[in-house]
Chain A
Amino acid sequence: MYRVSKLGKSYRKKADLVLKGLSFDVHRGEILGILGVNGAGKTTLIKLLLRALEASSGKIEFVGDDLSKIPLRKYYKDVSAVLEGNRNVYWYLTGFQNIEYFGRLKQLDDIKIAEKADKLLKTFDLYDARNQIAGNYSRGMLQKLSIIIATLDDPEVLFLDEPTLGLDIMTKKAVMNDLKHLAEEKKTTIVITSHQLDVIDAITDRVLVLENGGIAYIGKTSDFKQMYSENKYTLTVNGTVDRRDIAFDNYTIEERETTTDITLNDISRRDINLVLAHMLERDYEIVAFSKDSSRLEDIMEVFVQRDRSKDAQTFQSGIR
């Protein structure tokens, strides 16, 4: 869908590059998550793909054509966005009036707007509030309304900057399901940023991790989790444990009311088998065994810490 080559962006001073020579592809019908710490350039990247910002260098191709040469009136028929930190709706209009206004700006017919609005308002559980002034909506309701407006015309590409911010658990789940449905059924390409990594984890096919203006990782979300896993395992056994029965040195132990948690740090597969066999030989009842770094949130924490410890080491060696 998109082919990005050596994309760079700086604001005012050319030396202050926010994004430095990014090259990547976005595939049709995939959900791509953009990750990175605050100020990593996630929103800038989305706005460059949206052409709400002009790139300082590099090239973006959209379906094989140079994006900078595609007429905006054509491009904006194919893409929609919900932008974070912005108001995407007018507060003095009702929910439906907002949908109608933005639908007309998308050149949709009133009949189609009404039909789609009805369906989406029901899906997002906003139907009963459709005639209320948007200014009276909660943050979650406003967010839902913004997503309804953005998906009204079944766009080819949907950009979502923090779309689930302020949503309750049920609504968040519903939004996540709808986004997955859009990508799977309608082959909508979705580019999403979110600090709620459970959302990224649950719906993305691939992630792009931005770091210091460059791409630190791009690939399958599952591969990213595997790559930056700490190889940390937690073993829960009934009762207390004699430390001499743990056939491994690098561990922490936490006794609970009836069970004991043993966390095995940076352990190889071979050593896991040894530890488990040793415990079973001594008649310990193992009630749970898990690799704890399966959540993207944990992985990102490790990833960011890895970077910081690398910086700290560089700093230390600089002092020496």
Chain B
Amino acid sequence: MLKLFRAELDKYLLEVKTYYPDQIVDMVVKYILFATFFYGFVYNVRNSTAYCVAYMYWIIASSIISELSMSISFEKQVGTIEQLIIKPYPFWLILTVKTYVVLLITALKGALLFAIIRITLPISLVFNINLVWILLVSVIGFTGVGLALSGLTMKFAKTASFESIISYGLLFFSGTIIPFDKMPMTVQRVLNVIPFTAGINASQKLLDGNSQVLYVLLWLLLINLACFVIGYFVFNAFFRNVKTNGVLNNY
């Protein structure tokens, strides 16, 4: 497992080094997006940390989901996908580790971004360690969604449109555009069982001081594991399908 992690980490760092302008542009875009779009909301609300947490969730969730399917799309395009499936590590595990490596770098970039935001924009952010645990648990569920979308990418090669729907859907339901408590009650109930929104909701409640950490974490763990298991099975179903129909290498 450690070998796999090192293999993916070294490879991704070399990729970042090779294509570094892309990384800089990515950070600049995220800063501009925050400064011009979200800052307006943050400025007008009482708890700016909660909004920043929701924004961070969106960055991480969309990174994981898009990275998993983009990895497959890239491997299919360049023709290395079959070399990856004939390795002793399960293919889903290679993709997941690859994604976590990207997530690690994204998290470092995110931390840098928030440091820049704190220095350049007049907002105050509160740090709470419990938010980190909630985020880590939520990553399990995001991975499930990412795996399901990867399965779809294995079959159909280009799934940028699906990815956009999910990414912007998550943005809408992140609570950064419309606060949760302003949404219809039925929608609120549904959002409470979706890992992404449940994580944000739980984080915001924790910041408001009206929730028990252990209970919240257990509930989140349950729905995130369920999401991961569903994603894992969807991925494997698509994997079997492409191996039967011989379209793994099609692009």
Q: Give the interface of A toward B (CB within 8 A).
A: 11-12, 44, 47, 50-54, 56, 72-74, 76-77, 79-81, 83, 85-93, 97, 100-102, 104-108
Interface residue? B246 (CB, 8 A): yes
Number of A-B contacts defined by CB within 8 Å? 90
The minimal Cβ–Cβ distance linking B11 to chain A, given in whole angstroms, is 5
Task: Kindly state the separation between the CA atoms of A51 and B3 in the bound complex, as whole angstroms.
Answer: 24
Question: Which residues of A have CB within 8 Å of B85?
Answer: 52
Q: Are B249 and A107 in contact (CB under 8 A)?
A: no
A83-B83, A90-B78, A92-B18 known; A54+B88 contact, CB < 8 A: no
Q: Are B243 and A101 in contact (CB under 8 A)?
A: no
Q: What are 26 sample pairs from A and B whose C-beta atoms fall under 8 A apart?
A: A11-B246, A44-B246, A47-B246, A51-B243, A52-B82, A52-B85, A54-B244, A72-B88, A73-B89, A73-B90, A83-B82, A85-B249, A86-B79, A86-B80, A86-B249, A87-B79, A88-B83, A90-B78, A91-B78, A92-B19, A97-B14, A102-B83, A102-B87, A104-B4, A106-B88, A108-B3
Q: Are A90 and B87 in contact (CB under 8 A)?
A: no
Q: Are A54 and B79 in contact (CB under 8 A)?
A: no
Q: A interface, by DSSP: helix, strand, loop or mixed?
A: loop
Interface residue? B104 (CB, 8 A): no
Interface residue? B84 (CB, 8 A): yes
Q: Are A11 and B86 in contact (CB under 8 A)?
A: no
Question: Which residues of A have CB within 8 Å of B84?
Answer: 105
The 4 A-B pairs of least Cβ separation, nearest first, read A104-B7, A86-B79, A87-B79, A105-B87
Q: B interface, by DSSP: helix, strand, loop or mixed?
A: helix
The contact of A90 among B19, B80, B82, by CB within 8 Å, is: B80
Interface residue? B124 (CB, 8 A): no
- Contact string, B18-62, partner A, CB cutoff 8 A, digits 1/0? 110000000000000000000000000000000000000000000
Q: Are A73 and B11 in contact (CB under 8 A)?
A: no
Q: List residues of B (228-251) whose CB comes within 8 Å of A's CBs.
A: 240, 243-246, 248-249
Q: Are B82 and A76 in contact (CB under 8 A)?
A: no
Task: Kindly state the separation between the CA atoms of A108 and B88 in the bound complex, as whole angstroms.
Answer: 11
Task: Kindly state the separation between the CA atoms of A44 and B82 in the bound complex, as whole angstroms.
Answer: 13
Q: Are A79 and B86 in contact (CB under 8 A)?
A: yes
The contact of A76 among B6, B7, B79, B87, by CB within 8 Å, is: B87
Question: Which residues of A have CB within 8 Å of B88?
Answer: 72-74, 76-77, 105-107
Task: Kindly state the separation between the CA atoms of A299 and B4 in the bound complex, as whole angstroms.
Answer: 47
